[in-house]
């Protein structure tokens, strides 16, 4: 999976917010480059609070059912100001395949766990016994789901290898921000001179009746 590294100038408590700002700026550029009128969709997923994944951000550029690419931005744990950017393949079909694999894993493991508990083993021993089975099945099913998704991706002709190269190139060309953008200020209120210049309202529906 191709990857590059980007680096903030220095460690700062603002870097997580700067990374968020960078992600949404990048997503907007992707939406302009891969227009919805051509069948593309850009999704942003915040992984910073998810415990079962590496903290970071994921952007998905999807086309139809079988085409797509993913961009994952992850701060390096030992050097948080350094951001690793990885690109890979994805698709709506691949995402659905992973969800189906998770359901199948649950359907297999829950009866096994109940069977072991009914056999008289304590919960702790049951979990220790079934943990290797769980991880092996998870690896096998996720691998099968990935193979299915990648195989189906060949049916999408609009999302070419050039598109994937363009995605990584846009990351390389967009620099990390060095300051936070403030909220857009509201429009200024009209001053008294502007209000006095308005025509005087008399009766009826203003300004139709003068």
Q: How far apart are CA 201 and CA 208, in angstroms?
A: 10
Six-digit token string for 40 = 């593309």
**Structure confidence at residue 37 (pLDDT):** 87
Looking at the fold, whether 73 and 106 belong to one and the same domain comes out as no
Task: Count Cα atoms within 13 angstroms, Cβ side, for 143.
Answer: 6
Buried/exposed 11-25: b ≥16 CB within 10 Å, e otherwise: eeeebeebbbbbbee
Residues in the chain, pLDDT under 70: 1, 51-53, 153, 158, 182-210
**Structure confidence at residue 61 (pLDDT):** 92
Q: How far apart are CA 153 and CA 61, in angstroms?
A: 13
Looking at the fold, whether 9 and 83 belong to one and the same domain comes out as yes
pTM for the model stands at: 0.70
Question: Coil, strand, or helix at residue 56?
Answer: coil
Domain count for the chain? 2
Q: Are 2 and 89 in contact (CB under 8 A)?
A: no
Looking at the fold, whether 81 and 166 belong to one and the same domain comes out as yes
Residue for token digits 């609070």? 49
Looking at the fold, whether 71 and 169 belong to one and the same domain comes out as yes
Q: How far apart are CA 204 and CA 94, in angstroms?
A: 63
In a domain, 18, yes or no: yes
Q: How far apart are CA 65 and CA 44, in angstroms?
A: 18
In a domain, 128, yes or no: yes
Report, in angstroms and rounded to the nearest whole number, the Rg of the chain calculated over CA atoms: 26
Q: How far apart are CA 200 and CA 109, in angstroms?
A: 77
pLDDT tens, residue by residue, 12-37: 888 888 999 999 999 999 999 988 88
**Structure confidence at residue 52 (pLDDT):** 64
Looking at the fold, whether 19 and 81 belong to one and the same domain comes out as yes
Domain containing 137: what range? 92-155
Looking at the fold, whether 103 and 56 belong to one and the same domain comes out as no
Q: Are 89 and 69 in contact (CB under 8 A)?
A: yes
Cα–Cα nearest to 22, from 159, 172, 125: 172
């Amino acid at each position: 999976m191709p990857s590059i590294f980007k680096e903030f100038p220095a460690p700062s408590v603002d870097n997580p917010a700067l990374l968020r700002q960078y992600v949404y700026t990048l997503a907007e550029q992707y939406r302009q480059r891969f227009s919805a009128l051509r069948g593309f969709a850009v999704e942003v997923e915040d992984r910073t609070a998810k415990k079962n994944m590496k903290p970071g951000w994921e952007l998905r550029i999807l086309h139809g059912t079988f085409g797509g690419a993913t961009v994952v931005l992850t701060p390096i744990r030992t050097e948080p100001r350094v951001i690793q950017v990885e690109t890979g393949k994805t698709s709506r079909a691949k995402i659905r395949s992973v969800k189906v694999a998770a359901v199948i894993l649950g359907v297999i493991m829950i009866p096994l766990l109940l069977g072991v508990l009914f056999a008289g083993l304590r919960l702790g021993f049951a979990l220790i016994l079934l943990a290797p089975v769980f991880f092996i099945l998870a690896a096998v099913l996720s691998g099968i789901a990935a193979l299915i998704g990648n195989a189906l991706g060949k049916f999408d002709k609009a999302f070419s290898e050039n598109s994937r190269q363009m995605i990584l190139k846009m990351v390389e060309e967009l620099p990390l921000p060095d300051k936070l953008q403030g909220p857009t200020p509201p429009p200024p209120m009209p001053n008294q001179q502007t209000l006095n210049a308005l025509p005087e309202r008399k009766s009826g529906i203003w300004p139709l009746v003068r």
